[in-house]
């Protein structure tokens, strides 16, 4: 093989990945080398003849595995954002290999004995606050990975984690395959009701798939606009059923058996660790601590949300009747009639808003907000290699000093999994000198026709701000140890930086400056801006119910103490029946394509965390409002110091109290969703 760029020193700007030289065939050799090197580093730490010290054990662990982290960060991002058959084959092959590698480290008795020795005598070590925190977190990582188990239980746990890793990869690949396999070819007449931006996106989708005319797929960015605007009820039904059936089509990509096996193995894994259910195991290291506490929050919001959704349903059914419709409102009708009702009540429709929400301007708006709050500046670069021509890169500075690089990958394509996320090619740390972060946001916005500006819905603009909030969490990180860097925080705290940042999108100072018409460059008229703000809580019952349903089902799956022979279909149906799920609303993520939960452990038993973090973000943004200035410098400084820059350096409840000055309350969340009076 020619020289492998993954194994070289990178001479690119800020040592960014040389994507112009990296090929799929480089990864196996790079992984092989990285794993061998990491094993040697770990063996040296574990077998040291010197007594355990913070530097020769904890700091040494933090210094180990640099090459593996480099290779893994590049590969995992490509496997999610721009995959192909070769990368998917490598992903399937490596999932159990990597799981086995980490098992061997976490279950190494000699290594853990050194860590445990340090953990047992912290006062004698003379550690500062951050050193103490990283010792605590690493010790807990090992304990939660099974370091204290008996030898036979360690062997079983290793086997379970390898199997679960393979199941997660297969689940995600199945969802992507189902999305790639479905396309609905349409004529211009089939698109009656759609705004021009959605029509252009459908034309671009057809072109990308080698078709004439127009097309819709089951990616959210394609399906949702069609469901919202298309007048053809039969086509809305067809698209909706295909969209909600991803991973549930009884074909080679059906995920129901994988869900059942995953649930069973997770129960066994939790019970090996001494917990009654997987939910108890997962939540033990979160702010919520227990599934009962998480469920209590969901229950508290479910009643008002369902009541509001029923009011919304009745209003939509009345609108159907007014128009002479002789049918009962169905799930594929909700978005269409909700858009009509919003138009009637607020004289506002999405087609009127979209021309003012240019993607390029919304990116600028996010950057400007970050500048006002945290003093960041962004300058686009064209000399940094990228993995796809759609990707853009910005140099991020603060008071003239380099902070990191930010990559934006915004458009949907067949090689990208659905959804939106933030990840990194390198995390910030200061263990041996300043290491600056390389942060990426990946979204799935519809791509405009060549030469035309990409336009967003208001929800898509909110997604952009949300993911950029995560990006700021990575960019602003200012810690010494990799284990505590950026987003390495509790699952129900990690959404605070992203969700609180969403609030600034709705600030008049931002919309007045950046919501300008794509054709005329004129700012959004004040009357339209006022209507947009007035309608912010419209349809919130629907949005809250579709989210909560997914959160309840997630918790229910993982609250099982016996998951033998789980029928995923029946389990989902029964879980929704228990909460009284309205027939006219579908889960935001049905189980068979619930990648947050089943394509790895990421949000398993933790989808509730978006709502938990919303309690924090709604209450936290209120701190700005109470000053009378949404960009209040003193409040922004506390937000920076205790949330965005602090990573995992302190207890997360304490971090929030230091920012806010008190415990959070739920009232701001209910008020923000317009549910308080329901």
**Could you state, in order of their start, the residue ranges of all structural domains in the chain?**
5-106+108-148, 182-244, 256-348+539-607, 355-534
- The residue-averaged pLDDT of 3-13 equals 96
DSSP state of 598: H
The mean-pLDDT minimum among 1-5, 120-124, 202-206 falls in 1-5
CA distance 107 to 120: 19
pLDDT in tens, 262-291: 999 999 999 999 999 999 999 999 999 999
- The residue-averaged pLDDT of 330-343 equals 96
Topology of the domain covering 355-534: 1.10.1370
Model confidence at 637: pLDDT above 70: yes
Name the burial class of residue 50, with classes exposed (0-12), middle (13-18) and buried (19+) by CB atoms within 10 angstroms of its CB.
Answer: exposed
Q: Of the listed 91, 460, 467, 572, which one is catalytic?
A: 467
- The residue-averaged pLDDT of 234-255 equals 97
CATH class of 256-348+539-607: mainly alpha
Model confidence at 451: pLDDT above 50: yes
Model confidence at 124: pLDDT above 90: yes
Topology of the domain covering 5-106+108-148: Glutathione S-transferase Yfyf (Class Pi); Chain A, domain 2 (1.20.1050)
- The residue-averaged pLDDT of 303-329 equals 96
Q: What is the pLDDT of residue 533?
A: 86
pLDDT in tens, 578-588: 999 999 999 99
Model confidence at 241: pLDDT above 60: yes
Q: What is the pLDDT of residue 677?
A: 45
Q: What is the pLDDT of residue 468?
A: 98
pLDDT in tens, 460-513: 999 999 999 999 999 999 999 999 999 999 999 999 999 999 999 999 999 999
Phi, psi of 380 (to 5 degrees): -70, 140
Give one word for 101, left, alpha or beta, with left for phi > 0 and alpha for psi -120 to 50. Answer: alpha
CA 259 to chain centre: 20
> Is 86 assigned a catalytic role?
no
Task: Name the H helices within 580-632.
Answer: 595-598, 609-627
Three-state DSSP at 578 gives: helix
Angle, in degrees to the nearest 10, between helices 151-181 and 256-272: 160
pLDDT in tens, 16-63: 999 999 999 999 999 999 999 999 999 999 999 999 999 999 999 999
Q: Pairing state of beta strands 214-216 and 392-398?
A: unpaired
pLDDT in tens, 246-269: 999 999 999 999 999 999 999 999
Question: How many C-beta atoms lie closer than 10 Å to residue 125's C-beta?
Answer: 15
Closest CA to 569 of 257, 263, 265, 267: 257
Question: How many C-beta atoms lie closer than 10 Å to residue 466's C-beta?
Answer: 24
pLDDT in tens, 96-119: 999 999 999 999 999 999 999 999
Q: What is the pLDDT of residue 403?
A: 98
Residues 6 or more apart in contact with residue 275 via CB below 8 angstroms? 281, 284
523 close to 512: Cβ distance less than 8 angstroms:
yes
- The residue-averaged pLDDT of 180-207 equals 94
Model confidence at 678: pLDDT above 80: no
On whether the pTM is more than 0.85, the answer is yes
- The residue-averaged pLDDT of 166-173 equals 97
Mean pLDDT of the chain: 96
Given this chain, do its domains 5-106+108-148 and 256-348+539-607 carry the same CATH topology? no
Q: What is the pLDDT of residue 351?
A: 84
Model confidence at 1: pLDDT above 60: no
Sign of the Cα torsion 360, 409, 240, 587 reads negative
Question: How many C-beta atoms lie closer than 10 Å to residue 619's C-beta?
Answer: 21
């Amino acid at each position: 093989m020619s020289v492998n760029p993954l194994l070289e020193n990178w001479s690119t700007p800020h040592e960014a990945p040389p994507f112009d030289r990296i090929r799929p065939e480089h990864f196996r050799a790079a992984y092989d080398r990285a794993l061998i090197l990491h094993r040697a580093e770990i063996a040296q730490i574990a077998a040291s003849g010197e007594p355990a010290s913070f530097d020769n054990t904890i700091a040494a662990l933090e210094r180990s595995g640099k090459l593996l982290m480099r290779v893994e960060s590049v590969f995992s991002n490509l496997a999610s954002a721009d995959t192909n058959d070769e990368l998917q084959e490598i992903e399937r092959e490596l999932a159990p290999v990597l799981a086995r590698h980490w098992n061997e480290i976490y279950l190494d008795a000699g290594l853990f004995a050194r860590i445990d020795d340090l953990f047992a005598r912290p006062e004698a070590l003379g550690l500062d606050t951050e050193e103490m925190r990283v010792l605590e977190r690493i010790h807990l990582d090992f304990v939660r990975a099974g370091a204290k188990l008996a030898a036979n239980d360690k062997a079983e746990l290793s086997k379970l984690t390898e199997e679960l890793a393979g199941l997660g990869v297969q689940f995600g690949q199945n969802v992507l395959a189902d999305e790639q396999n479905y396309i609905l070819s349409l004529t211009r007449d089939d698109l009656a009701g759609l705004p021009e931006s959605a029509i252009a996106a459908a034309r671009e989708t057809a072109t990308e798939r080698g078709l004439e005319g127009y097309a819709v797929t089951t990616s959210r960015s394609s399906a949702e606009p069609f469901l919202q605007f298309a007048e053809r009820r039969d086509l809305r039904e067809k698209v909706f059923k295909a969209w909600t059936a991803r991973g549930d089509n009884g074909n080679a990509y059906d995920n129901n058996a994988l869900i059942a096996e995953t649930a069973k193995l997770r129960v066994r894994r939790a019970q090996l660790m001494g917990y009654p259910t997987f939910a108890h195991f997962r939540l033990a290291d979160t702010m919520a601590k227990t599934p009962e506490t998480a469920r209590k929050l969901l229950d508290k919001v479910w009643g008002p949300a369902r009541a509001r959704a029923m009011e919304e349903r009745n209003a939509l059914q009345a609108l159907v009747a007014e128009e002479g419709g002789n049918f009962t409102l169905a799930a594929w009708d909700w978005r269409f009639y909700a858009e009509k009702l919003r138009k009637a009540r607020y004289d506002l429709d999405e087609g009127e808003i979209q021309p003012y929400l240019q993607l390029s301007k919304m990116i600028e708006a996010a950057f400007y907000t970050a500048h006002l709050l945290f003093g960041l500046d962004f300058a686009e670069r064209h000399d940094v290699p990228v993995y796809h021509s759609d990707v853009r890169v910005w140099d991020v500075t603060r008071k003239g000093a380099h902070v990191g690089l930010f990559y934006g990958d915004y458009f949907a394509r067949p090689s990208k999994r659905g959804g939106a996320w933030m990840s990194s090619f390198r995390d910030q740390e200061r263990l041996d000198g300043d290491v600056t972060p390389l942060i990426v946001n990946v979204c799935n916005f519809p791509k405009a026709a060549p030469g035309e500006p990409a336009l967003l819905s208001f929800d898509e603009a909110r997604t952009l701000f949300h993911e950029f909030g995560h990006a700021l969490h990575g960019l602003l990180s200012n810690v010494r140890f990799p284990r505590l860097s950026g987003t390495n925080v509790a699952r129900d705290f990690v959404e605070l930086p992203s969700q609180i940042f969403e609030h600034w999108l709705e600030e008049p100072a931002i919309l007045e400056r950046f919501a300008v018409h794509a054709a005329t460059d004129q700012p959004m008229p004040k009357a339209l801006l006022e209507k947009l703000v007035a309608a912010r809580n419209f349809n919130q019952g629907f949005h809250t119910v579709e989210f909560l349903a997914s959160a309840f089902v997630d918790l229910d799956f993982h609250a099982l103490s016996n998951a033998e022979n789980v029928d995923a279909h029946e389990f989902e149906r029964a879980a929704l029946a228990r909460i009284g799920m309205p027939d006219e609303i579908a889960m935001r993520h049905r189980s068979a394509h619930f990648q947050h939960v089943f394509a790895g452990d990421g949000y398993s038993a933790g989808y509730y965390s978006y709502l938990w973090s919303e309690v924090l973000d709604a209450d936290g943004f209120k701190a700005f409002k109470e000053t009378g200035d949404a960009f209040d410098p003193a409040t922004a400084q506390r937000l920076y110091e205790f949330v965005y820059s602090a990573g995992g350096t302190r207890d997360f409840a304490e971090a929030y109290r230091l920012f806010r000055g008190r415990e959070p309350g739920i009232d701001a969340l209910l008020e923000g969703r317009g549910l308080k009076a329901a």
